[in-house]
Structure 1
Amino acid sequence: MAKALEIVSSGDVQKQFGRYSDEAMIRPVGVTKNGHLRFVMVPIDEYQRLRRRERVAGGIEDLTDDMLEAIRRVEPGAKSQDAEARLGAA
């Protein structure tokens, strides 16, 4: 289960940076300015994990003819065929 976000003011972070940077290693720390959440402090490994999950969507027009042909030639594997057979029998 994800740990709850701790919310602190930017002034508190400024005064107690060591405390909140240590806390951010345990759970996310949300930093507010004038009562509005501005950013969240997280460990670098969590930031990198989130960056790896970023996806860039492309359109079919971005695919080469070779890519499109490879997609057309794909055949379902044996496990897919077994699953289809079981679903058809239900």
Structure 2
Amino acid sequence: MREHDMKVSTAEFIRNFGPLADKALSEPLTITKNGRDRLVVISADEYARLKRRDRRVVALEEFTEEEVALIAKAEVPPGHEALDAELKDWRP
């Protein structure tokens, strides 16, 4: 969660559901219970975007030799350089 994400208690969320639900359309809204983060409300569009990013984990042994060879030859198409930022600090 980012430092500036909005946080409200469960009681406050219930009292101000309409305006807070509208706020969650533009930024994540964390709902707390007894001072602890419990739920995060996000827009349906943001949820769909996150679901599209889901990835299936596959063990290397599950790939055929042909698939491994194709992966080794693969290149990122021009115009997708911004994806490099996602791997900037990645470590195995």
TM-score band w.r.t. shorter chain = 0.5 to 0.7
Instruction: Give 3-state SS (helix, strand or coil) of 2:61's partner.
Output: helix
2:80 maps to none
Q: Secondary structure at the match of 1:11?
A: helix
Any idea what SS the aligned residue of 2:26 has?
coil
Q: How many residues align?
A: 74
1:49 is aligned to: 49
Q: Tell me, which stretches of 5 or more residues in structure 1 are unaligned?
A: 77-90
Identity %: 32
Unpaired runs of 5+ residues, structure 2, are 76-92
- Identify the residue that residue 26 of structure 1 maps to in structure 2: 26
TM-score scaled by structure 2? 0.65
Matched, 1:6 2:6: yes
Aligned-pair distance for 1:66?
4.0
1: distance between equivalents of 2:74 and 2:15? 61
DSSP 3-state at the match of 1:54 = coil
User: What's the C-alpha RMSD, in Å, of the aligned pairs?
Assistant: 2.5
Largest Rg, 1 or 2 = 1
Moved more, 58-67 or 14-23: 58-67
TM-score by length of 1: 0.67
Q: Distance in 1 between matches of 2:15 and 2:7?
A: 15
